[in-house]
Amino acid sequence: MVPLAQAKKIVIKLGTGILRTDQGLVNNTCIETICKEVAYLKSQGIDVILVSSGAIGLGMARLKIKKRPTALNELQTCAAIGQTQLINLWQNKFDCYDLTVAQILLTQEDLSSSIRHSAVINTINHILSTNSIPVVNENDTVSSEEIKFGDNDTLSALVAKAIGADLLLILSNVSGLMNPNNGNAVIPIVNEINSDIKALASGTQNEMSVGGMVSKLSAAQIAMENNCGMFIGSGDDPELFQKILRGENVGTYFPPLS
């Protein structure tokens, strides 16, 4: 069972696949559900940090580009345009709950440099103290390495590690880690990421997304080693958080190693 009810600080990572429809439009239903659930968690005294993908995809939609660009300057332009769309989208949806969002753009360097690492932690904690919601994304606009190799699964795990989160929820369009040797049944709990578990992972098939299950297992390893549980589940399920709180077996849970 995912200990959501006992958590005091949660990082929720949202993939592009659930923020946009197959037609490239904003998935308002999913986003509104997430906002409702986050507002409920905050009403229970739980601090929530969102790590939101989607900037490049929203920039593509704004520019009416159907196929993900490969040229660096085109990707950076889509990210720059899409980031304004993304943060405004979250603020508009959270206005219904009188909650304020705060944009934080990071690269992995920001969490590896000791000085910048401390600044990031202090900023996030102060934002949380105002009852606002940090919305973190990779700084794709200026960082070529992040666009080419980065993924928000890993970034969300590094953020969870930095701020001492109790739980990392990675929500995408998959229901969890599936076992093809058992009718693609979702594995409810993974206590150790060994070679057998890694063999079950595969990369993403969605050209709008980066990473796939491989990056999610990498994020799980980071979280588990830093006393943070991690959950992979479907962001398309409107009752997901309530099911977790009720202790139902939905998705895949990776408990802390310590």
Q: Using CA of residue 76, residue 79, residue 82, residue 84, what is the dihedral sign?
A: negative
Mean pLDDT across the chain, nearest whole number? 86
Mean pLDDT computed over 40-48: 92
pLDDT of residue 27: 85
Q: DSSP character for 155?
A: H
- Tell me which CATH homologous superfamily contains domain 9-254: Acetylglutamate kinase-like (3.40.1160.10)
- How far apart CA 44 and CA 60 sit, in angstroms, is 37
8 Å CB contact between 226 and 86: no
Residue 147 contacts residue 108 (beta carbons within 8 Å): no
Q: Choose among 147, 146, 138, 82: nearest CA to 105.
A: 138
Q: What is the pLDDT of residue 10?
A: 95
| Mean pLDDT, residues 3-14 taken together | 88
Q: Which whole number is the average pLDDT over 82-86? A: 92
Q: Is the pLDDT of residue 11 over 80?
A: yes
Kindly list the distances between the CA atom of residue 123 and the CA atoms of 23, 49, 57, 134, 228, in Å, as whole numbers in the listed order.
36, 12, 27, 9, 21
Percentage, residues of the chain above pLDDT 70: 91
pLDDT digits (tens, 9 = 90+) for 152-179: 898 999 999 999 999 999 998 888 898 8
- The more confidently predicted of residues 118 and 4 is 118
Confidence (pLDDT) at 5: 73
Confidence label for 255 from pLDDT (cuts 50, 70 and 90): very high
The domain locations on the chain are: 9-254
Question: pTM value?
Answer: 0.91
| DSSP codes joined into one string, 187-217 | P-B-S---HHHHTT--B---TT---BHHHHH
Q: Are 16 and 53 in contact (CB under 8 A)?
A: yes
- Is the pLDDT score of 211 beyond 90? no
Q: What is the DSSP letter of 62?
A: H
Q: What pLDDT, on a 0 to 100 scale, did the predictor assign at position 160?
A: 95
Alpha helices by DSSP H, listed for 95-172, are 114-129, 144-149, 152-163
Q: Residue 147: its pLDDT value, please?
A: 43
The residue with greater pLDDT, 33 or 205, is 33
Question: Of 175, 164, 239, 126, whose CA–CA distance to 11 is shortest?
Answer: 164
Give residue-wise pLDDT tens across range 99-157. Answer: 999 999 987 778 887 888 899 999 999 999 999 999 999 888 876 654 444 678 989 99
